[in-house]
Amino acid sequence: MNPFEARVKSSYYVRVAIISLLTAGIGGLLMLIQQRRWAKIFDDRGVTRRDGQQFRWSNLEKIRFIHIRTALNHIELIFSDGKALIFPFMLENRSEVMSFIGHLPGGQPAISYE
């Protein structure tokens, strides 16, 4: 498998700017700090977060689908040594990422969200 990057939509950064204006910068700063925990690169070995931390597929313990009301909000890839977050609706290549997640052990429910 060729490595691929989960690409963040430019509209996400517009949201960060608006939240920053409404919260005197604090809300936008918190959003950007949280974004460092988002999955960035997927490859055969594992996933690399935006802060550079890497997790191996062999250490994957669980995939958790977090819903708000009835809609998928985000996905947590939980490893023995940490977790990586995926916010599908903030990604340009959502279908590519969700298809990949759907092929992971425990990731089959992801297919229904495409």
In SS3 terms, 89-101 reads as HHECCHHHHHHHH
Q: Where are the domains of the chain?
A: 4-113
Q: pLDDT digit of tens for each residue in the chain (114 aa)?
A: 789 999 999 999 998 999 999 999 899 899 999 999 999 999 999 999 999 999 999 999 999 999 998 888 999 999 999 999 999 999 999 999 998 998 887 765 544 443
Instruction: Evaluate whether 44 touches 52 at the Cβ level (below 8 Å).
Output: no
Amino acid identity, residue 30? L
Which CATH number does 4-113 carry?
A: 2.30.29
Among 39, 41, 35, 16, which Cα is nearest to 86's? 39
Q: What is the pLDDT of residue 110?
A: 46
Structure tokens at 85: 């977050």
Q: What is the pLDDT of residue 104?
A: 85
Q: What is the pLDDT of residue 20?
A: 92
Q: What is the pLDDT of residue 6?
A: 96
Q: How far apart are the first and last CA of the chain?
A: 21
How far is Cα 17 from Cα 29, in angstroms, rounded to an integer?
9
Q: What is the pLDDT of residue 67?
A: 92
Q: What is the pLDDT of residue 113?
A: 42
